[in-house]
Chains A and B, each alone.
Chain A
Amino acid sequence: MSDTYLGMPSFPEAARESTKDTRLRANLTHATHTIRDKRAKAVAELDDWARLREAGKRIKDETLRHLDEHLIRLEQQVVAAGGTVHWAADAAEANRIVADLVKAIGGADPDKREVVKVKSMATQEIGLNEALEAEGIAAYETDLAELIVQLGDDRPSHILVPAIHRNRGEVREIFAEKMGEWGRPAPENLTDRPADLAEAARLHLREKFLRAKVGVSGANFMVAETGTLVVVESEGNGRMCLTLPETLISVVGIEKVVPTWRDLEVFLQLLPRSSTAERMNPYTSTWTGTTDGDGPKEFHLVLLDNGRTATLADEVGRQALRCIRCSACLNVCPVYERAGGHAYGSVYPGPIGAILTPQLRGTASAVDASLPFASTLCGACYEVCPVAIDIPEVLVHLREQVAEEGVGHRAERAAIGAATWLLDHPAALGAAERVAAKTRKLHPKRLPVGPAKAWTDSRDLPEFPAEPFRDWWKKNRR
């Protein structure tokens, strides 16, 4: 994963810092509650939601069980449609492939060594922008929020609204100061009205889109049967990156494949409603290889492992690979709401980050070892998850692993840290318990064994919410 996050403090330390930031917390509370309420309405419109969710879960499980076959089929179809497929076992390999492609296309002309990018978690995960920069290639983020983050030399704090920690006044300042360094400057008298800020971004980025030779994207889905890639977005910067450049490079995690074109009918219903709480997002693009006279002449697909096969090997943890990155779990999480996205020390914040990051990159660092403890196990994330990932179950499982690996004190520190943090923030705990009360039925059934027992309490998990950290604390306090 990206170097940006190495040396991050552990979750409890980082969370302690961010909870002091009242504006961050106010912004996050506003954002998460607004999106959460809208999502509930959008989901309630479909009375077959539970069946769609079960279908989404099973399609992904089937895919993961035969992932090798689906990837081979995908590769065949992409190649048959004029694309080239590359495989990258880790971040370094993926970055190498992309950098070499860009250099080959740009030739010796340094002006041509630039790419336009559409927001992609996979490319953030591998630290692609930094890797390209080190090779003298400028990578321009083109999502409004990502642009704010990039110009502000900052890190994203939410999957869906990465700049939610910035107020309009700050955005205005960042644009006014920084746009000129990167290209077309912001207008002289830029106001802080969101419409004016968006207009400034439109003009700043348009000149980049119109001259871009290489676009870099991720994908929400890849269809094995047809070799089709799918990008779901709102602003149109995705369409720009996918359509205007002569070369398109898509870096996609191997778990994003689905078997059939028809399977999209499930995910294109689940994703927009869970994510932006819309019946459908403004733009969805699909493409299969290259098309004569329409869009890029060259298409490269980089299939990325980077810890996914290790995750797949874990019987309990592999369900995290079903994730479609909708961010619904962030918006209902009482811990995320208090701590903010940065505390999770990776590109994947919130409940999904707490189970995905330690699996993708192991638990060697303090932050990664503490992530499975960044939760009250209230179960709200599981309830909203459109592919029914039992996040609490995976958390408990990972706590056991941390306990077994960490020779006593590192694991213990992680647990004490998380518990202390929650106890220092009774409001977070209270909120967690209130949510938990409503989701009691959904709590993990699987009782922890081994050392993790001490932290999750050995009594029935359904009674869990009011007790765990406090109990643990009482018993273990010295």
Chain B
Amino acid sequence: MTAPTTSARDRILARIRAAVADAPEPPPVLRDYRDSHHPADPARLLDLLAENLADYRALVHRCTEAELPALIGRILAERGSHTLLVPDGVPEPWLTDARVDLVRDDPPLAPDRLDAVDSVLTGCALAIAETGTIVLDAGPGQGRRALTLVPDHHLCVIRAADQVVASVPHAMPRLDPARPQTWISGPSATSDIELDRVEGVHGPRTLEVVLVE
């Protein structure tokens, strides 16, 4: 670090200390807000997640573990995808019915290569029912952040049994801040022109979610 910034640090810290020297201790933070706004009924939570995802224009599918490969195959076929990006750790059985060329991020693909794939398939770290949010943390089956950003179609699988939480306060303790996270609530959107909502600007314009029960 160079000399001027070091002294800026000292000056700023000194100014802060002088500014609050006489300030009273503020009242303690109370966490008396709700830790969730819905009853902890797993079936109800799944419905709520599906509703909220759809409300923010994600395409939502529900199926059993056994139906998953066929569903993935059908979604890709109906979309007309020819290439599918598959991060490390995506279970092989998910891919058995996918009639597409699989693209692996090994060695890591340059951004323009990512731009050329039709779809990307991932799992997730968890999903938040109340807000219709999927959280990715670059864990197994999710890949580095760019993989779910550059392609235009993101297909994301959520395991209902252990990946759905009710609320943001329930999500925080399960997430590791040391990992880079992306919280996704519906496809990319803008309302910048006359407040007219347009789906999809820079992120994937189509977000498809499969809830596996």
Residue in A closest to B178 when the chains form the complex, CB atoms: A288
- Asked whether any CB of chain A lies closer than 8 Å to the CB of B186, the reply is yes
> Which of the 9-residue segments A274-282, A333-341, A411-419 touches chain B?
A274-282
Q: Please list 15 pairs of residues, one from A and one from B, whose beta carbons are closer than 8 Å in the complex, sorted by A's number.
A: A30-B195, A34-B195, A54-B30, A64-B20, A68-B13, A161-B192, A171-B193, A209-B202, A235-B190, A240-B202, A280-B128, A283-B188, A285-B180, A285-B182, A295-B144
Q: Report the separation of the CA atoms of residues A58 and B30 in the bound assembly, to the nearest whole angstrom.
A: 8
Contact (Cβ within 8 A) A280 B29: no
A14 CB contacts on chain B under 8 angstroms: none
Q: Mark A223-258, 1 if CB is under 8 A from B, else 0.
A: 100101000001111011011100000000010000
Find the B residue at minimum CB distance from A90.
B8
Chain B at the A interface: mostly helix, strand, loop or mixed? loop
The interface residues of chain B lying within 8 Å CB-to-CB of A93 are 4-5, 8
* Contact A65-B15, Cβ < 8 Å, known A27-B194, A262-B173: no
B interface residues with partner A (beta carbon < 8 Å): 1, 4-6, 8-9, 11-13, 15-20, 23, 25-34, 37, 52, 56, 108, 111-112, 115, 128, 130-133, 138, 144-146, 149-150, 168-169, 171-173, 177-196, 198, 200-204
What is the interface residue range for chain A against chain B? 35 or more
- Cβ distance A258 to chain B, nearest Cβ, rounded Å: 11
Complex: A279 Cα to B55 Cα, angstroms = 10
Residue contact B180 to A294, C-beta cutoff 8 Å: yes
Contact B188 A58 (CB under 8 A): no
> Are B144 and A161 in contact, CB atoms less than 8 angstroms apart?
no
Which of A93, A194, A240, A282 has the most chain B CB atoms inside 10 A of its CB?
Answer: A282
Flag if A282 contacts B184 (CB, 8 Å): yes
Q: Is A429 an interface residue (CB 8 A)?
A: no
User: Could you say which of A46, A59, A226 contacts B29, with CB atoms under 8 Å apart?
Assistant: A59
Bound-complex Cα distance A272 to B168 (A): 12
Q: Which residues of A contact B200 (CB under 8 A)?
A: 198, 202
- The residues of A that contact B179 with a CB separation of less than 8 Å are 288, 291
- CB of B22, distance to nearest CB on chain A (Å): 8
| Chain A residue at minimum C-beta to C-beta distance from B25 | A65
Asked whether, in the complex, the Cβ of A236 is within 8 Å of the Cβ of B149, the reply is: yes
Verify if A420 is at the interface (C-beta below 8 Å from B): no
A194 to B28, CA, bound (A): 47
The CA-CA distance from A264 to B173 in the complex, in Å, is: 11
